[in-house]
Structure 1
Amino acid sequence: MTTPEEAWRSSYRHPGPWDMDFPPMSLVDLFEESARRCGDKPLLDFMGRHYSYAETLDGANRVACGLRKLGYGEGDRIGLFLPNVPHYVAAYYGILKLGATVVNFSPLYTVDELAHQVEDSGTRALFTISAKALLPTALKVLDASKLDRLVVGSVAGALPTTKSIFYRLFRGSEVAKRPDDPRIMAFSKLIENDGACRAPSLDPETSLALIQYTGGTTGTPKGAMLTHQNLSANARQVARLDPQLGAAVDRVLGVLPMFHVFANTCVLNRTVATGGEIVMLPRFNAAQALSAIERTKVTALPGVPTMYQALLDNPKLASTDFSSLRVCISGGAPLAAELKTKFQNATGATLIEGYGLSESSGVVSSNPYEAEGKAGTIGQPIAGTRVKLVDKADPHKSVPESEPGEIVVSGPQIMKGYWNRPEADAAVFLDEGGGHRWLRTGDVGTIDEDGFIRIVDRLKDMIAVGGFKVFPSQLESVLYRHPAVKEALVIGIPDDYHGEMPRAFVTLNEGESVSGGELLEWLNPQLGKHERCDKVVIREELPKTMIGKLSRKDLVKEIEAENQSGS
């Protein structure tokens, strides 16, 4: 009897066979092989300054040797608290060459968020830059945690000469002064060596390359442990999605934040694997992104839906030449059909949707680049990846035919587990025996006869804001600090630009008369930029379950009913 998987494999639309093998490979070997092959070819274009593969490898070697001289080595956790700057790439691969583990931290984090994850991961050293948006936060965490060192780079030093002078003259207000402190070292000082030091041998399947913090399916952020093989396999899997791999120019716009797993795989590791070029922008700005597309003739643009909407909204879009773009890949949040159509009509570019999680190193499935895909789906599983549905109530049971079920995934890119969270591992993995494990995604979907997956619901409460995951319970805990707040619930409200926005609903203690606007002004400065609520709504009461527990599910239903009635 033919299984559903065997049936759809005959309709596989990605290049190459689905059952392709991805032998164990470290990210260090992947990088060094490309550097040997590409040499003087550009790896990075940073605001017009080019860094070759050879130059970037030399920088990574110097980072590794500088860290080893400071006493760091195999197994240490070293953090990156950086925007998209060349320092990120040199530090990332340098840490890996040392045999240490990279820990990614979002530049949007507050002091409390960064300090918590530094402590949770046991991060010893942290890379950042001398920007007022980052360095003061890092300095506070240095004093408030077990962190023992900061390595601080300069953005001006990474720019072309003329732009570097302009930055120093006209944007000096954005630069924070580096304190005179023995715990703080300049990036330039760290790499004052010849890059010739011992590199440890790495087992790709057991050596931990990256701790990527995620919400998982429930609860507070947890560190997904990704091995060298997890990440190198996913980079190779994603590279194989391109029908023109090796036969056409490969130049990707690197505007997704590198600390995000989507960019880590689809911009950084994948492009290094192909020997391509990354046109790197420090952060997303629609006008700058459009100028970079025009200037460099990029061939690929990975992004989240809010980025594509912002490009559409920018007046420069109409005059931008998109003819070089072969594919735009959307991930991180659901892609609205209307947005996909508008963007394709406006630019002539192909926009496809894919799907993945931090726990899967970035990518699980994708619509094909050139073959016929299916709008509204997250595509077919990428090579070497198995996807099936299980019962929503009991994941150990198969889902009845033609019914939605929880999406579970298996493949070489699936994480080793959560950092110091064995109880979370037990909840997220389904063990079939013989070492074969399935990852529970917390998403509910269907799989059609051609293997195209459609997400229809979410088991988790996380809110997807422009590709970032926001945890309602954390925002609620902040609200409860206000003396006027009696009860609080935060839910995601559909938003044309961000996909979803957090909105808070509260009841007040007796005798309090604070307004929703006043609560919003008090709340948002305490949150990360991606966590900020669009409104705080004051209600007489909030829905509760039969046992008196606040019910987020029922609140969502109430808001949906109100919207439908127009009230």
Structure 2
Amino acid sequence: MDSATTPPTNGRQPWEASYPAGLDWRTPIPEQPLHRLMEEACAAFPNSVCLDFYGKRITYRQTGGLIDRAARGLQDLGIATGGKVALLLPNCPYSVIAFHAILKAGGVVVNLNPLASIAELADQIEHSGTEVLITLDLVPFHAKLDALGWPGRLRTVVVARMADALPFPRNWAYRLLKRRDVARIPRDDRHVSFRRLLADRGAPRPVAVQPRADPAVLQYTGGTTGVPKGTVLTHAALYANTMQCRRWFTGAEPGRERVLAVLPFFHVFGMTGVMNFALALGAELILLPRVDVREILETIQRKRPTIFSGVPRLFQAIAAFPRLNRYDLSSLRLCVSGGDSLPPLLLERFQQRTGAYLAEGYGLTEASPVVTCNPFSGLNKPGSAGLPLPGTLVEIVSLDDRRTLLSQGRIGEVCVSGPQLMAGYWQDATATAQAMDGGHLHTGDIGFLDADGYLHIVDRLKDLIVTGGQHVYPRTVEAVIKQHPQVADAAAVGEPDPVRGQAIRAFVVPQPGSALSEAELRAFLAPRLSRVEQPQRIEFRTALPTSTIGKILKRALIPERPGDDDREVNRPADR
């Protein structure tokens, strides 16, 4: 019998009264190996389309067969229980097949960001103990691999051919027109083709998985110190979070949904909230390997997806796209936003211009990642991060005393308990103990629960500015700056000040063609911010540095800031 995790029963929680009809926050969540998602989908929807990549479509039965063959191929390469296999891939069929093949072989997925620096990749490959790496035969990937050398325990690179993933005749055109983009792969024992990995050697050897104890994914966070920090996510944690997301979508039609996959699968949001969520629904995954707004709109019109997850900057770009009304976006039933705060005005504008429902959620890598989300049926509160997912306990603790729980409406640090939490940080007991102090996850976010149980994120704890002994929330300053019609983007940070302790420095991106001056902006801010919230310095920029999924990287604006940690957070209020 499968074991299950039951939510705590210490009284009725405030959010339960706001839950969607028919959904019980306390229903136990099974503990299962993560690759069971694909097995269950293959059994239930064998003839339904699983993957669509530029028109090449393969069914769940076909995808399951490829996963089995790749799993056996990895086992024959020496991957056994706990063996680390890194993925250096964009969204494509190989990323889905390889991910679940690694798990079925008994291995652990190490997600690598193809846009990371060579130094970051080398650190993560060595720190994780990666033995095998799977990538594409594209020049940008192999230029990095050549520069990397063979760090740590890395002994084999499996190379997948992009042309093989494309439909006819696009695959032939790619071979003819994109020859310069294809890397020359050395003919040696260290390099293995993905075709060879798929050679039919029979079924993979069965592997016993202890879902609660065995890692499924080693997910590296956005480091700022140069020391990699790997989040250990077990099979049970990732399976639980996927099923929490699946249950949350109460109106889903299993086997009939189409999910547009633009968020990268190497990021925890895309991995759970798009890829595995879609598999749990038996949905068709429409794969796009890059973010291009025109291509996204054309794909929505042509492929008719019903579900689309993204980040606020992407929804902003879509809402602002010229002649958006020329595209038929009527197939979209649900859009989910994460990764940064979703301004209420953007939510309203996006819904008005597209007709699609947009819900904001909150999460972080250490929670696999989803913690809360606005309901898809019920009250969607603009500016809030929504309600805790089934089985998830959200508590607010004092900023002065990590053990004191605060009542509704009071602002403190957001703490999370639930079956989706990490097992810890890889080979970092000290950081694990700090994050899990008191038996729950300290998120490092400042927020509060309102009377209906909705979570509101005020700011990031480490971004809090203490100036002249008073607390200032950068998010408040940023929101007011963005109200100016000539401002496209803004970020507020604290920088050392010998008198105040910290001074507020604002980085502002004017709208294209704007002649906005500092004096004009200060005149606008004067009546809208308190004296202590007024920026001491304003610096105009043409753009702000962002992460892979579009979050502003404040550490890149003020890199010398003390106290930066290494967490990568998929949250409405992030640095």
TM range (shorter): 0.7 to 0.9
The whole-number CA distance in structure 2 between the counterparts of 1:104 and 1:535 is 22
Determine the structure 2 residue equivalent to 1:505. Answer: none
* Per-residue deviation, residues 129-154 of structure 1 (Å, max 9, x unmatched): 01122121123324344311111111
Give per-residue Cα distances to partners, 1:316-339, cap 9 Å, x unaligned. Answer: 522111111111000011112222
Unaligned runs of 5+ in 2: 1-8, 465-473, 476-491, 496-502, 512-541, 565-575
Residue 249 to residue 38, structure 1, CA distance change in 2 (3 Å): closer
- Counterpart CA distance in 2 for 1:326 and 1:536 is 37
Q: Which amino acid aligns with 1:115?
A: A
**C-alpha deviation, 1:414, in angstroms:** 0.7
- Tell me whether 128-137 or 254-263 shows the greater mean CA deviation: 128-137
Q: Deviations over 1:443-492 (max 9, x none)?
A: 0001001110110111135999xxxxxxx9xxx9xxxxxxxxxxxx9988
CA distance in 2, matches of 1:47, 1:196: 29
Equivalenced residue count is 491
Cα drift, residue 429 of structure 1 = 0.5
C-alpha deviation, 1:175, in angstroms:
2.1
Distance 1:201 1:340 in 2: 45
2:461 pairs with 1:459: yes
Aligned to 2:38: 31
For the residue of structure 1 that corresponds to 2:427, the secondary structure is: coil
1:494 Cα deviation from its structure 2 partner: 6.2
The match for 2:339 is 332
Given residue 390 of structure 1, which amino acid in structure 2 is its aligned partner?
V
Q: Does 1:397 align with 2:404?
A: yes
- Distance in 2 (alpha carbons) for counterparts of 1:105 and 1:492: 32
**Aligned partner of residue 117 in structure 1, secondary structure:** helix
Q: Distance in 2 between matches of 1:32 and 1:531?
A: 34
Q: Give the aligned residue type for 2:187.
A: D
CA distance in 1, matches of 2:381, 2:60: 37
1:50-65 residue pairs with structure 2 within 5 A?
50-65=57-72
Q: Does 1:442 align with 2:449?
A: no
Q: Does 1:371 align with 2:373?
A: no
Q: Per the alignment, in what secondary structure is the counterpart of residue 248 of structure 2?
A: coil
Shift of 1:170: 2.1
Task: Check if 1:412 corresponds to 2:422.
Answer: no
Q: State the secondary structure of the residue aligned to 2:431.
A: helix
Map of 2:570 onto structure 1: none
Question: Percent identity at matched positions?
Answer: 38
CA contact (8 A) 1:217 1:459 kept: no
CA contact (8 A) 2:363 2:371 kept: yes
Q: Is the 8 A contact 1:14 1:241 kept in 2?
A: no
Distance 1:393-1:243 versus aligned 2 partners, 3 A rule: same
* 1:500 match: none
Counterpart check, 1:319 vs 2:321: no
Query: How far does residue 401 in structure 1 lie from its aligned partner after superposition?
Result: 5.6
User: Measured at CA, do residues 329 and 535 of structure 1 come closer, stay the same or move farther in structure 2, by a change above 3 Å?
Assistant: closer
Given the alignment of the two structures, is residue 274 of structure 1 paired with residue 284 of structure 2, yes or no?
Answer: no
Q: Is the 8 A contact 2:368 2:422 kept in 1?
A: yes
2:97 counterpart of 1:90 = yes
Q: 1:396 to 1:234 in 2, by over 3 A?
A: same
Q: Within 2, Cα distance between the matches of 1:114 and 1:53? A: 32
| Alignment CA distance shift 1:95-1:4 (3 Å) | same
| Residues 377, 138 of structure 1: alpha-carbon distance in 2 compared, 3 angstrom cutoff | same
Q: 2:363 aligns with which of 353, 356, 368?
A: 356
2:325 aligned partner, one-letter code = A
Equivalent residue letter for 1:454 = H
Match of 1:429 among 417, 421, 436: 436
2:193 corresponds to 1:191? no
Distance in 2 of aligned mates of 1:133 and 1:65: 29
Whole-angstrom CA distance in 1 between matches of 2:357 and 2:197: 43
C-alpha deviations, 1:485-544, integer Å up to 9, x for none?
xxxx998846699xxxxxxxxxxxxxxxxxxxxxx9xxx9xx99979989999xxxx99x
Select the residue among 24, 31, 39 that pairs with 1:17. Answer: 24
Note if 1:222 corresponds to 2:224.
Answer: no
Instruction: Say which SS state the counterpart of residue 445 (structure 1) adopts.
Output: strand
Q: Does the 8 A contact of 2:246 with 2:277 survive in 1?
A: yes
Tell me, yes or no, if the aligned pair for 1:63 and 1:195 is still in contact at 8 Å: no
Given residue 188 of structure 1, which amino acid in structure 2 is its aligned partner?
Answer: R
Q: What is the rounded CA distance, in whole Å, between the counterparts of 1:365 and 1:187 in structure 2?
A: 38
Cα 1:236/1:552, change in 2 over 3 Å = closer
More deviation, 305-314/320-329: 305-314
Q: Quickly say closer, same or farther: Cα 1:126–1:286, change in 2 above 3 A.
A: same
Q: Which residue of 1 aligns with 2:210?
A: 203
What is the CA distance between 1:311 and its match in structure 2? Answer: 1.9
Q: In 1, distance between residues paired with 2:554 and 2:405?
A: 40
Whether contact under 8 Å (2:364, 2:370) holds in the other structure is yes
| Secondary structure at 1:460 match in 2 | helix
Corresponding letter in the other structure for 2:66: G
Deviation of 1:314 (Å): 3.0
C-alpha displacement at 1:7, in angstroms? 3.6
- Structure 2 counterpart of 1:445, one-letter code: G
TM-score (norm 1): 0.80
**1:208 Cα shift?**
0.8
Aligned mates of 1:193, 1:271 — CA distance in 2: 27
State the TM-score, normalized to the length of structure 2.
0.79
1:73 to 72, 80, 85: 80
Cα deviation, 1:424-447, whole Å, max 9, x if unaligned, reads 01110133xxxxx31010000010
Counterparts of 2:249 and 2:408, CA distance in 1: 33
1:380 to 377, 387, 397: 387
2:270 maps to 263
Q: Once the two structures are superposed, what CA deviation does each residue of 1:217-256 show, in whole Å capped at 9, x if it has no partner?
A: 9995411111111111111110111122236831110011
TM-fit CA distance, 1:403 = 2.1
Tell me the equivalent position of 1:137.
144
Change (3 A) 1:47 1:550: closer
